Structure 1
């Protein structure tokens, strides 16, 4: 048995497709199929049900997958342990975070450093679904995502971090109403760059416009926050985003005008991990540090919309 076979199996489960898994692993589909066949022959069980039209994993395959996740996680932790020893650091934490919460990660890492000292981190920017997948496959330790998208199951531990505060943000090129708020009707007449409809943040914005009974003026839709920020700073469009999606270390006054949208139902961002006991003391300390960090206070202080 080779570790590559277990990695192939993990990707097959993730993509529910031999061809997509092969592409993700950087091998040909025949090579990946042969590796799985060899694994099945060696173990004496059928892992993939090839008779069904719809992709399926057998009961034996489910048990093999659990062991595969545990083995691959163990190998990853062994490598981390060696790296930690060589670098003389407290540990390595792997985090998955949704795009609109990226800028709160430095605040969390600072809290971890204050408690644990020097450490290393690996941060993946992922959609909600991918965060759950990587938690299940034990490729990340902690996920930061929309609370309502977190599985409410005994196998997961979930806690709320903060409630999002959505704002309309624009450069000085736009004339916005005075004050800290803007109506949905007024916001609908401003040319906007928004995230794509598949993203939870955008879905919440759409609910706001629909509730107000108005249609937004959309000039750009993308899954790239970097592109939205660039277009907004260039004065070409405005945007509606959680205030936590803007760089927290850069003061907004003088750079961007921000207006709150009243009546908006904010999304809650939460932190999630597998509920099974952490195998490393450092991972447990990271989790405790995250839970004790008062992010809501930091967001209110650093990102109050400018008048």
Structure 2
């Protein structure tokens, strides 16, 4: 029961709410409250200040929380060690990646495989803020996210992976201007599917339209890349997305028109980890493999025009 109580406590701190923590843990609120009361009785301290109208952790509670994080992290690392030993693999790496960079992950994992041999991975698709939180709590080993969204602190080590290139993608049913590029003005006249405004990628697109002084014709806003891809493929809308959000190894030659949108500073996607002296050897090997992987060539290839035979120039 002790580990469960620490897990409950961690979720209470994260959500600042007993009811939300109970939902996250899959238990009833009374059951979670009883478990915390029992933990307080066992330790002989008050963890949650229930007298305040606003949720609060006592000073003793803050010390307990620190130990809770350390214990739970140690248990997680022990389970990983046991799993690695049982599976006879090089290690397990936990990666967080923003949605628009998902398609670069297979290329990076392949590079790790070539360097380290057989291994296991956990890949979580998350927004920038969640990646930082999980790096700090050591629920992730490595993050792949927008470079400028990482706190400029010595606690983090950040390296650039590639400069993001925004492109307009449309089916052959759309008549687009000739050439490899399309202006923001021309793009604004097409029915568009865009990611939602809280996503950094969309914010960069909005900057592009604002800089050009035009208002886009938006027909779909969603957080789902899969939905945007589906709508584009059936010819309902065009989309503006980073080229990295399209499959890099299996592009659909001839099925989509892809044109670059020049004229503003692109976002930079980087790889992030905590700056700690004691980094597990396998995680260090994964980091080195990622650093040596060239992604820009694969991304540039997708921007090249396709001939009638389906070959890229």
SS for the counterpart of 2:115 is helix
Conservation of the 8 A alpha-carbon contact between 1:92 and 1:120? yes
Q: 1:145 to 1:188 in 2, by over 3 A?
A: same
Conservation of the 8 A alpha-carbon contact between 1:91 and 1:119? yes
CA deviation profile, 1:32-76 (whole Å, cap 9, x unmatched): 122222222322333333344333333333332222222212111
Q: How does 1:151-170 map to 2 (within 5 A)?
A: 151-170=151-170
Inter-partner Cα distance in structure 2 for 1:14 and 1:305 = 46
Inter-partner Cα distance in structure 2 for 1:292 and 1:47 = 47
Q: How does 1:268-307 map to 2 (within 5 A)?
A: 268-301=268-301, 303-306=302-305
Q: TM-score w.r.t. structure 2 length? A: 0.92
What is aligned with 1:119?
119
What is aligned with 1:216?
216
Q: CA deviation at 1:252?
A: 4.4
SS for the counterpart of 1:145 is strand
What is aligned with 1:79?
79
Conservation of the 8 A alpha-carbon contact between 1:253 and 1:306? no
Conservation of the 8 A alpha-carbon contact between 2:69 and 2:137? yes
SS for the counterpart of 1:45 is coil
Inter-partner Cα distance in structure 2 for 1:229 and 1:175 = 18
SS for the counterpart of 2:8 is helix
Aligned residues: 306
Q: TM-score w.r.t. structure 1 length? A: 0.94
SS for the counterpart of 2:121 is strand
Q: How does 1:139-154 map to 2 (within 5 A)?
A: 139-154=139-154
CA deviation profile, 1:121-153 (whole Å, cap 9, x unmatched): 111111111112211222111111111111222
Inter-partner Cα distance in structure 2 for 1:160 and 1:56 = 39
What is aligned with 1:4?
4
Inter-partner Cα distance in structure 2 for 1:25 and 1:305 = 48
What is aligned with 2:49?
49
SS for the counterpart of 1:210 is helix
What is aligned with 2:260?
260
Q: How does 1:94-113 map to 2 (within 5 A)?
A: 94-113=94-113
Greater mean deviation of Cα atoms: 169-178 or 259-268 = 259-268
Conservation of the 8 A alpha-carbon contact between 1:195 and 1:225? yes
Q: 1:306 to 1:145 in 2, by over 3 A?
A: same
Greater mean deviation of Cα atoms: 93-102 or 149-158 = 149-158
Inter-partner Cα distance in structure 2 for 1:256 and 1:88 = 43
SS for the counterpart of 1:95 is strand
Inter-partner Cα distance in structure 1 for 2:292 and 2:60 = 41
Greater mean deviation of Cα atoms: 41-50 or 125-134 = 41-50
Greater mean deviation of Cα atoms: 28-37 or 117-126 = 28-37
Q: 1:4 to 1:228 in 2, by over 3 A?
A: same
Conservation of the 8 A alpha-carbon contact between 2:192 and 2:238? yes
Q: Unaligned 5+ residue runs, structure 1? A: none
